[in-house]
């Protein structure tokens, strides 16, 4: 009979297991210490158990100062921050982010995420610390030693990479104004701050809101979109905030969860926020202030963990001055204001959008269309009041109806003229004393051209105000209205 294989002794097995564990621990240590960001592990009872060398360097405290001590003990230690992202996770709010000032003004960004076991129990809290002050300093040094054109191309490539990572490959940001907007949106994505996105109809406010959510640590949680102007006024509160059983006649006997509760843990996007009735604005303000929600027909508030992103194509400040929108709500909404310029102010974006839309239409409809340079130049001079949405519809019609393989200037001009005539014939007559749409658009076009030319000649909004003979605040407001970037000294 063949000899039976010898079994490893228990001591040999234990020795092999110990070597494997030692090897894995060495690998973990190497990975953690290779990071330029500070990384720290906190136990479920709030005790610091592990960290890398960068964490010691960034915080200014040695490993022995942290290991074995609790969050509360370290918060009371001179030189450490009192606000703790890890403590927020222990209280059930995650992912958590805090900004703290240490070391004589250095700004640190701390994020905390829970690590759960297979049964859902909390095993550890993972802290990540990044020194924003040092990163900004390194960026300025890099910019001083690089060619501006090269830096611009590097920033654009980096931005496109981040858009791809967020799943927004077709988001176009080639113009300086749009690069600024998207860069700001990505920078603030991880902070649970309320965002107000302003811009004309069709500029992509909803897409930008989606980008903010999917670039944040809430990306795996719900993203709920609500069109405030599409909800009947009598149903706004019950739809947004939910209601209890029997709250009103015709209500569901089991009650109903509102949009805010559906977005709990994630992001709610309130589009057309300017259409929200004043009776509901007070309740929204309360949610923004204390993150507590009370359903219709209930007196018991519920804890809410939701980020609010709002959008409007109306001038909320004008509405607030007329008493149609709460000023205190406006101030809370525009914690982070973002303005998307109209497409007519972004020729670089329009060119890329035209190329992308023709390509995507060719794929969808199995066509082989292109557009002449003259046709593209013609589009650059069009108003396109519907912005990206209007451009997309226009390109689809041209791809499907143009008589030749190449869409010509004549094709585009004819389609734009046809749409202008259709829009003019379907528009209502202006009320007495009001300016007609045609005259208003012409006057705005003239005002826009004057502002653009003056901004190119002047080095500040104060100089523009002096040259135009109006207040500096009026200049700022008009530049924002038309999406024109003022020069700075």
* 284 in a structural domain: yes
User: Residue 232 pLDDT more than 50?
Assistant: yes
CATH number of residue 64's parent domain: 3.30.450.20
pLDDT of residue 407: 93
- Digit-coded pLDDT (tens) for 111-131: 888 888 888 888 888 888 887
* 86 in a structural domain: yes
- Cβ-based neighbour number of residue 12 at 10 Å: 10
pLDDT of residue 429: 42
Q: Are residues 256 and 197 both part of a single domain?
A: yes
Q: Are residues 448 and 417 both part of a single domain?
A: no
- Digit-coded pLDDT (tens) for 60-73: 788 888 888 888 88
More confident residue, 167 or 394: 394
* 147 in a structural domain: no
Q: Are residues 294 and 205 both part of a single domain?
A: yes
* 182 in a structural domain: no
- Domain encompassing residue 350: 343-426
pTM over 0.75: no
How would residue 427 be classed by pLDDT, with cut points 50, 70 and 90?
A: very low
Q: Are residues 381 and 348 both part of a single domain?
A: yes
How would residue 398 be classed by pLDDT, with cut points 50, 70 and 90?
A: very high
Q: Are residues 329 and 267 both part of a single domain?
A: yes
pLDDT of residue 204: 93
Buried/exposed code over 140-154 (b: 16+ C-beta within 10 A; e: otherwise): eeeeeeeeeeeeeee
pLDDT of residue 90: 84
CATH number of residue 392's parent domain: 1.10.8.60
Q: Are residues 237 and 294 both part of a single domain?
A: yes
- Digit-coded pLDDT (tens) for 402-420: 888 899 998 988 888 887 7
Task: Count how many domains the chain has.
Answer: 4
CA distance 368 to 365: 9
Q: Are residues 282 and 376 both part of a single domain?
A: no
- Digit-coded pLDDT (tens) for 255-295: 889 999 999 999 999 999 999 998 899 999 988 888 889 89
Average pLDDT, integer, range 220-241: 91
- Digit-coded pLDDT (tens) for 339-358: 999 998 899 999 999 999 99
Q: Are residues 44 and 113 both part of a single domain?
A: yes
Percent of the chain with pLDDT over 90: 29
Distance, C-alpha 427 to centroid of its chain: 35
User: Residue 392 pLDDT more than 80?
Assistant: yes
Q: Are residues 37 and 57 both part of a single domain?
A: yes
Q: Are residues 193 and 267 both part of a single domain?
A: yes
β-pair type (406-407, 370-371): parallel
More confident residue, 453 or 153: 453
- Digit-coded pLDDT (tens) for 433-456: 344 444 556 677 777 878 888 888
Which positions ≥6 away from 49 have C-beta within 8 Å? 41, 42, 43, 67, 124
Q: Are residues 196 and 335 both part of a single domain?
A: yes
* 143 in a structural domain: no
* 151 in a structural domain: no
CA distance 448 to 456: 12
Question: Across-strand partners of 30?
Answer: none
User: Residue 36 pLDDT more than 80?
Assistant: no
Q: What is the DSSP string of 184-195?
A: HHHHSTTS---E
Chain mean pLDDT for the chain: 82
* 161 in a structural domain: no
More confident residue, 90 or 262: 262
CA distance 103 to 80: 9
Which positions ≥6 away from 121 have C-beta within 8 Å? 44
Query: Do 165 and 182 contact (CB within 8 A), yes or no?
Result: no
Q: Are residues 255 and 374 both part of a single domain?
A: no
* 370 in a structural domain: yes
CA distance 245 to 363: 50
CATH number of residue 292's parent domain: 3.40.50.300
How would residue 337 be classed by pLDDT, with cut points 50, 70 and 90?
A: very high
pLDDT of residue 198: 94
Average pLDDT, integer, range 289-309: 89
Distance, C-alpha 302 to centroid of its chain: 26
More confident residue, 403 or 308: 308
């Amino acid at each position: 009979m063949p000899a039976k294989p010898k079994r490893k002794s228990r001591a040999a097995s234990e020795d092999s297991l110990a070597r494997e564990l030692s090897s894995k621990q060495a690998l973990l240590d190497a990975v953690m210490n290779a990071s330029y960001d500070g990384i720290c592990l906190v136990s479920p009872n709030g005790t610091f158990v592990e960290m890398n060398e960068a964490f010691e360097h960034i915080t200014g405290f040695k490993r022995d100062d942290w290991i074995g001590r609790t969050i509360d003990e370290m918060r009371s230690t001179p030189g450490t921050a009192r606000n703790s992202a890890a403590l927020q996770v222990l209280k059930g709010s995650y992912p958590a982010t805090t900004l703290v000032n240490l070391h004589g003004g250095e700004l640190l960004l701390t994020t905390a995420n829970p690590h759960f076991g297979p049964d859902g129990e909390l095993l550890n809290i993972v802290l990540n610390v990044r020194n924003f002050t040092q990163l900004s300093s390194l960026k300025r040094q890099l910019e001083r030693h690089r060619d501006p054109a090269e830096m611009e191309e590097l920033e654009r490539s980096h931005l496109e990479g981040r858009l791809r990572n967020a799943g927004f490959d077709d988001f176009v940001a080639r113009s300086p104004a749009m690069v600024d907007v998207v860069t700001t949106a990505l920078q603030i994505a991880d902070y649970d701050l309320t965002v107000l996105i302003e811009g004309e109809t069709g500029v992509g406010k909803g897409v930008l809101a989606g980008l903010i959510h999917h670039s944040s640590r809430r990306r795996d949680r719900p993203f709920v979109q609500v069109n405030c102007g599409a909800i009947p006024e009598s149903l706004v509160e019950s739809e947004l905030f939910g209601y209890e059983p029997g709250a009103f006649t015709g209500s569901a006997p089991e009650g109903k969860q509102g949009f805010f509760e559906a977005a709990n843990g994630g992001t709610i996007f309130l589009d057309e926020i300017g259409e929200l009735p004043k009776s509901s604005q007070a309740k929204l303000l309360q949610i923004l202030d204390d993150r507590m929600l009370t359903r219709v027909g209930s007196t018991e508030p519920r804890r809410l963990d939701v980020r609010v992103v709002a959008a409007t194509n109306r001038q909320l400040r004008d509405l607030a001055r007329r008493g149609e929108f709460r000023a205190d709500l406006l101030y809370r909404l525009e914690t982070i204001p973002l303005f998307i310029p109209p497409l007519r102010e972004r020729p670089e974006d329009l060119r890329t959008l035209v190329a992308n839309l023709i390509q995507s239409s060719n794929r969808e409809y199995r066509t082989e269309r292109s557009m002449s340079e003259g046709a593209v130049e013609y589009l650059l001079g069009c108003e396109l009041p519907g912005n990206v949405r209007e451009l997309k519809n226009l390109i689809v019609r041209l791809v499907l109806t143009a008589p030749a393989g190449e869409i010509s200037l004549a094709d585009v001009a004819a389609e734009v003229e046809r749409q202008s005539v259709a829009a003019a014939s379907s528009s209502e007559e202006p009320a007495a004393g009001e300016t007609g749409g045609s005259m208003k658009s012409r006057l705005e076009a003239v005002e826009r051209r004057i502002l653009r030319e003056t901004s190119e000649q002047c080095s500040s909004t104060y100089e523009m105000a002096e040259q135009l003979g109006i207040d500096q605040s009026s200049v700022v407001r008009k530049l924002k209205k038309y999406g024109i970037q003022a020069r700075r000294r």
